[in-house]
Amino acid sequence: MKYNSTIVINERYNTLASFIEQIPTIFDSSGELLYSGRNVVKLFYVEGVEVVVKSFKCPPLINRFVYAHIRGSKAKRSYDYATYFLARGFLTPHPIAYIDCISK
């Protein structure tokens, strides 16, 4: 499947850029499944780093419009919230990147 993708990578993790760019094409066929339900969470080992990747379920049509044009995607908001909490001293995993994939 072809995608239009927006990829934002935390500067701290630029060394993982080639892996991050491949995620849309390798996610379904690789990684260790941690959770499968409404969303899918997988664990990858990349260059000695444990990377947990969450794939959000495709939202209903109206929400797709809202996330694409008004509010920002769930992936972007997750990344932004982690950055916000870390800046305020809360313990949360460092955000590595987020990818917004829109199928063509």
pLDDT of residue 103: 63
Query: What is the distance of C-alpha 23 from the center of its chain?
Result: 9
Between strands 40-46 and 97-103, the pairing is: unpaired
Residue 92 tokens read as 């949360």
Query: What is the distance of C-alpha 7 from the center of its chain?
Result: 9
pLDDT of residue 62: 72
Residues of the chain with pLDDT under 70: 1-3, 64-69, 103-104
**H or E segment to which residue 66 belongs:** helix 61-66
pLDDT tens string 37-65? 999 999 999 988 899 999 988 777 777 66
pTM, whole model, 2 decimals? 0.82
